[in-house]
Chain A
Amino acid sequence: MKPASLEYVRPRSMEEALAVLSDETANAKIFAGGQSLGPMLNLRLTRPAKLVDIRHIPELKAVRADARLCSIGATFTHAELEDGAIEDFTRGLLPYVARGIAYRAVRNRGTVGGSLAHADPAADWVSTMAAIDATIVIRGQAGERRVPAQQFLAGAFTTELGDTELLTAVELPRFSAAARWGYYKVCRKTGEFAKAIGLAIQDPKIGLFRILAGSPEGRPALLTRSAETLATRGAEHAARDAREEIEEVLPNLAPAHRQQLIAAVQRSLGQILLVEAA
């Protein structure tokens, strides 16, 4: 379990990185935290000729925010979000999610961008960004483009990203003081990938009502009808609708797994109810 021989480069700017990546003969691969790529290299499941370490590019560690939108650079680590290294735009949601990812040693290195680009459907950020209605910012030599997080993931381990492109940042809406959210991850042990994720967000001030069911089986499912119920009739009714909607939109799941998803979503809504009751 040792990687095949490869070259390692450490660009200092986005331009430099993109230049290396754009050489299609180079067989280069971006290396961020290495927490997914490292094992894949060791198992020789991927065999790039060149690793492009993007952790030393200042633009990828930038935060930009205004009253409405905030942008987080791709190489922020899970641990940095957990520790509140950047302003809390989401009223505690991002730090909460970060804390539940893997173990601290993995969080110290693993990055938000790496997690999204790797596109494991069970990953916490994949579901979270889709649920928040975040936008993924992508740069190639041709310029910049933006893709809604829910569309970014084409399926398990496949995304909109081209081989020569960089995921540079994630843009999120700034939650208002009225925002409530619930996040429920079903997993068997601390630090394990989720078996099921339930996420519910209601922020009437900015008009954000989203409910999401995240599963290792594929792209997370946005429960739009239940979200409407959440907006119009509240979390308790939404929890009832969610069961039906999950059965409808994910008909092929194994019954036990569907049961876990329903529980996760209902419990995330339950958390909203609890906050409201307090």
Chain B
Amino acid sequence: MLEVAFLRSPVAHAIIRERRKPTGFESSVVFNEDMEGVSPITTRSSIPGYKVSDYPALAADRVRFVGEIVAMCLAANRAAAEDLCELVEIEYDELDPIVTCAAGRSPGVKPLHEEWADNLFLRTSLDQGIDDVIANAPVVVELELSTARQVMHPMEGKGLVAWWDHRAGQLVVQTSTQVPHLIRIGLAECLGIPQAIIRVAAPDVGGGFGYKCMLMPEEVAVAWLAYTRKGAFRWIEDRREHLTAGANARQHEYKIKAYADNRGRFLGLDAEVAIDCGAYSVWPFSACLEAAQAGGNLPGPYDLQAYRCSTFSVATNKPPFAPYRGVARPGVCFAIELTIDAIAKAVGREAWEVRLENLVAASAMPYTNITKKFYDSGDYPASLLQVKQMIGFERIRSEPRRDAKGRYLGVGFATYTEQSAHGTKVFAQWGLPLVPGFDQAHVKLTPDGALEVKAGIHTIGQGLETTLAQIAHEQTRVPLKDIRVTLGDTANTPFSTGAYASRGIVMTGGAVSVAAEIVAGRIKSIAAHLLQVRAEDVSFRDGGIFAGEASVSYEDVGRAWYMRPDQLPDAVDRGGLEATGAYKPQVDTGVFSYASHAAYVAVDAETGLVEILDYAICEDCGTMVNPMIVDGQTIGGAAQGVGTALFEESPYDDNGQPLASTLIDYLLPGPTELPRFRITHMETPSPFSAHGLKGVGEGGAIAPAGALVNAINDALTPLNAAVREIPATPERILAAIAAAKPTLGNVA
């Protein structure tokens, strides 16, 4: 097996004038022109006005971000492959880079992709009528907000091994992915070969968060090597590649004007959102998913009657923007939640009261909001009141605003909805090239009475092996220890678009339920025959199948079908003891989980440091299949949300150089920076999904930036300061305090 190292562009924007391979290494170094017949990664979209960017696996005549691959070098080990990278000579003619949304939107700017008419992947505008409100609203608040570029950091980075299986005549790609079936489609398209000769499997993913749900240029390049050279090749991403070239996300800018009455009741929202999309569109989720989600979700869980929003998906000389846990919603939640607090301040009320007044009421469910989101069920106000109680709001307000160390204390709230398991219509509306339909799962009773569950979705640390087994158990009562779940291998699982958008438990869970129910019926009829009773007289109990006191085991049933068919009646169901089930919910617009978060913080006005003193969450994801896993998802997401709120930032300088290229510069929260998240649950089953399930994979990450920055700003109220940019670093907090006063006086 040969190891691959990628030579990456050291400059943000340039024309490649010349490239030379070191003598003697002509076949160990691969350039774009060597990959004949390979198509660039191209993400089409049916949204009018959307512009396509061709993203070649190896740069052709231009590079558009620092870290873009210009050559692939092969050697016996990674160190030697990196040595080889150093010998490759590339000459660049540098061009001016576009590093900010403002620059990318400025009128005269030369588009990043020459054939484009302007520099936007997409511009959308939505106007649900707001002119009356603008003319008449008694309260207007204006905010400019921004969120930093982030990098996702699953515990393990990306990595893949690809080889040619001579016996099977098949290209096998073992890649760290959330979406093996999609990667097969994407590879076949780029390499121009039939899907049947590609097998994509992801034995163990090591965390994904969205980074691993897109086709990567590295995947195309390494798979091409294995296919054309009929050998085995490996690439393992390192942290520097991850930080500088890989998993970019989250960078938004907002201009908001909110209109309210004197009680703080929302009358209208007028917003402009710019997204720093990087240089290319990722496949298949495209450079416009973020904007679509931002514009559609900005109204949040609130009852809003007038809304106008334009979005700008700006091309910049940075790595492509990827859909990260929560996709756009951590940004929009931050934006709308700060807006609510600003309205509360303007009308002189507590922010929770204004929030409560604006939340969609339980009695209004199901509720179609202004952007046509169908909120299926739940009691949003109850979750807010619950966290208000948990955080001890009344006690906090009765105590001094500063602690014994002189730090300022504050409490903040955020409430959100999490559209999960979005269905066919939603994705079709977003114009994506790949639209999920029914998810499928296969369930089979083995000859010795165990149960095999197979699905094309993947487990990326969210515990699907456990929860899918629980659902199969619910239907068949085969003991959990005898249920085996296999996922994420195109060779032996039914098709699924994969693990993203908090869809696993709803979609695949639903499919497993359907398949297991079919198999359960067949188990019962064979058992009934063996027990000489009617099928409706048998039931599952105590790990066996009973009719009165008489019983047979699952093994008896398995043995009869597979090994002793002489015991079966002629009319036995020919489907046997296996079935493929397919599922999508009754409504195609997703089921909406929701939660309220409350944060209690201490802000040191001299150092700008923030301590999270307490953090309360009340969440509702419908029926909880496994409460421990729901807690795990919530805690993990919230930890990432704390990163968004306080720590994580991948800045670029004026030349488009990434300034955070190691974990010394890119701060992730560690255990000592995280509070003990205190969680309570509400359980409102969705009326529209199997077992009342809703997704819970992303929610935790959505609210912390809103809740924490609202808490920080509440703390800073006596100083008349407010933070409007995240992460809320000490520098930003001190700058906000300084801006609120003429000089940095002695606050001690």
Contacts and interface: CB of A to CB of B under 8 A. Distances in A.
Interface in A166-212: 186, 188-193, 195-196
A254 B744 CA distance: 12
B245 to A, nearest CB: 12
B240 to A, nearest CB: 5
Interface string A1-15: 111110000000000
Interface string B630-662: 000000000000000011000000000000001
Given A189-B669, A243-B746, A5 B606 contact: no
B667 A260 contact: no
A43 B672 contact: no
Nearest to A195: B730
A260 B670 contact: no
Contacts of A254: 731
A260 B664 contact: no
Contacts of A262: 606
Nearest to B606: A263
A255 B734 CA distance: 9
Interface in A254-278: 254-257, 259-260, 262-264, 266
Given A188-B647, A188-B730, A255-B744, A1 B238 contact: yes
Contact of B78 (A2, A190, A266): A2
A236 B609 CA distance: 24
Contact of B606 (A1, A3, A192, A260): A260
Contact of B82 (A2, A188, A255): A2
Contacts of B646: 188
A58 interface: no
Interface in B602-618: 604, 606-609
A158 B649 CA distance: 29
B10 to A, nearest CB: 13
Contacts of B609: 186, 188
Contacts of B735: 256
B541 to A, nearest CB: 52
B748 interface: yes
B691 interface: no
A84 interface: no
Nearest to B646: A188
Nearest to B77: A2
B79 interface: yes
B131 interface: no
A259 B733 CA distance: 12
Contacts of B669: 189
Contact of A256 (B79, B238, B647, B734): B734
Interface in A32-51: 39, 43-44
A5 B82 CA distance: 11
A2 B79 contact: yes
Nearest to A190: B672
B730 A256 contact: yes
A256 B672 contact: no
B662 A39 contact: yes
A264 B606 CA distance: 9
Contacts of B744: 255, 259
A80 to B, nearest CB: 23
Contacts of A186: 607, 609, 730
A190 B611 CA distance: 12
B670 A191 contact: yes
Contacts of B647: 188-189
A266 B748 contact: yes
B670 A189 contact: yes
Contacts of B89: none
Nearest to B240: A1
A191 B664 CA distance: 10
B712 to A, nearest CB: 14
A256 B731 contact: yes
B35 interface: no
B535 interface: no
Given A4-B83, A255-B738, A259-B606, A190 B730 contact: no
A3 B238 CA distance: 13
Interface string B201-236: 000000000000000000000000000000000000
Residue from A43, A186, A263 whose CB has the most chain B CB atoms within 10 Å? A263
10 contacts: A2-B77, A39-B662, A43-B240, A186-B609, A188-B609, A188-B646, A189-B667, A189-B669, A195-B730, A260-B734
Interface of A: 1-5, 39, 43-44, 186, 188-193, 195-196, 243, 254-257, 259-260, 262-264, 266
| 6 nearest A-B pairs in the assembled complex, by CB-CB distance | A2-B79, A263-B606, A256-B734, A190-B672, A1-B238, A256-B731
Given A5-B79, A188-B729, A189-B647, 10 more contacts: A186-B730, A188-B646, A189-B672, A255-B738, A260-B606, A260-B607, A260-B608, A260-B734, A264-B607, A266-B748
